[in-house]
Amino acid sequence: MTETQFTRGRPPVPTAGELRLPTPPGVARRFWARHPWLSDTLVASVYLVPMVILFLVDVTRQAGPGLPPQALSTAAVVLVITAALLVRRHAPLLVLGVTCAGLVAAFPEQGDTLPVLIALYAVAVYRGGRSAWFGLAGAVGVAALGAFVGASSYASWLAVASQSAVLMLAATLVGVTVGDRKRYVAALVELAAQLARERDQQAQLARITERGRIAREMHDIIAHSLSVMVALADGADALLVKDPERSRVALREVARTGRGSMSEMRRLLGVLGEDPQETGDPEATDVPLRPQPGADQLVDLVDSFRSAGLPARLERTGRIPGSQGLQLTVYRIVQESLTNALRYSAQPTVVSVRLTMVPGRLEVVVTDDGRNARDASRSPGTGRGLVGLRERVALYDGTLIAGRRPGGGWQVRATMTVDETEEQA
């Protein structure tokens, strides 16, 4: 089944590059998610604007001219804290340190904890729970120190310190919750992206494997058919004057071989196309569905080569296993070996195809005694056939050896392992 047929009728699955962190629902939340600097500026303004108003009120209450040194230092600290809040997403721990320092330096009496709360929230969201809890401990200690400096009594110090600790704990808990949710969603998106990448890689590997299989099948079909057709055509041409009847028989065999090859190619290429019922191709719908060739077709295969002039004979010992994949491999080994013998072997007297089945092992041996075999003057091969055969044999933990025979000719020997438990099942 092709990938197109497998996914037909199902919604498309996004690829790894199409997966993104989901944007928050709602127009307002999507707007703030797309403009983080604007939201940071608004948060800093929430702190800055009240402090500016308080600063102006304090200045108008001053009786003498000019600004007191304490007001200038307070304004400087406020500006530093505001600038720090603008980068709370990028350096939350630094922002927490700046705000805690400002808490003690400028406001020992009031204990301004708002920027510390914002910084604690940022640490929890952008640095994780562990950093948040360490930051909370430090901030509570600083707040307690600031409250102690400005407290008039032990009771007031305890009240201010406990209030600051509760507010800081609440800000940390909210930040941890929001941060864990963001990290959980990001982890899910990353996992989905990883699964999508693995799926794409598996689909690509499957396509490459399928293309290799189709290339091997096409090579076997075309090489076999063309070799037989060329041999038959040469024979028909030689017999055209001396024996016209035998020449016509050879030509009919050429036509039959060509039609059979076209049918096999159409079925093979049909795997890559659309559903014939959907495309409405009458030629495609007329092609009957048949199983792949196997051991039962070996006799017809050898007879077709014998009709092309190759003195081939078939010998079988034992029963060939019923596995369709194994039988197809055997068929392709014999087909490729006989095709090579027909193309390259010079005047062979015997081309033997011997299949031997023993417990746990199947051996296929194809030999010819042609002299000057594999002559370079003949049509050269690409070697793809033997490579494809080795890949087929390797699927069954087997080996394939092809080479010249000591006394002349060529031999192909393939040995494959047969799982007897599967055969019995």
Residue type at 276?
P
Q: Which amino acid is at 56?
A: L
pLDDT at 415: 93
pLDDT value at residue 13? 47
Look-up of token digits 């039959």: 256
What are the structural domains, with CATH classification, of the chain? 3-198 (no CATH), 293-425 (3.30.565.10)
**CB neighbours of residue 209 within 10 Å:** 10
pLDDT attached to residue 413: 93
Question: How much is the pLDDT for 414?
Answer: 93
Q: What is the pLDDT of residue 67?
A: 63
DSSP string for residues in 361-396: EEEEEEEE--BTTT-TTSPPP-SHHHHHHHHHHHTT
pLDDT tens for each residue of the chain, 425 residues long? 344 443 444 444 455 455 554 555 556 666 666 777 787 788 888 888 888 887 777 777 765 566 666 667 777 888 888 888 888 888 888 888 888 887 777 555 555 788 888 889 999 988 888 888 998 888 888 888 777 776 677 887 888 788 888 998 998 999 899 888 888 888 898 898 888 888 888 878 877 776 676 666 676 667 667 777 777 777 777 777 777 787 777 777 777 777 777 777 776 666 555 444 444 444 444 545 556 778 888 888 888 888 878 889 999 988 888 888 888 889 889 988 888 888 888 888 889 999 999 888 999 999 998 865 444 444 455 566 777 788 888 888 899 998 888 878 889 999 998 876 555 44
The predicted structure's pLDDT at residue 100? 84
pTM value? 0.46
Per-residue confidence (pLDDT) for residue 219, from 0 to 100? 67
DSSP output for 57-115:
HHHHH--SSS--HHHHHHHHHHHHHHHHHTTTTT-HHHHHHHHHHHHHHT-TTT---HH
CA distance 229 to 262: 13
Structural Rg of the chain based on CA atoms: 42
What pLDDT was estimated at residue 354?
93
Q: Which helix (H) or strand (E) holds 131?
A: helix 129-150
Which of 45, 108, 44, 43 lies closest to 74, judged by CA? 108
Tokens linked to 99: 């705000």
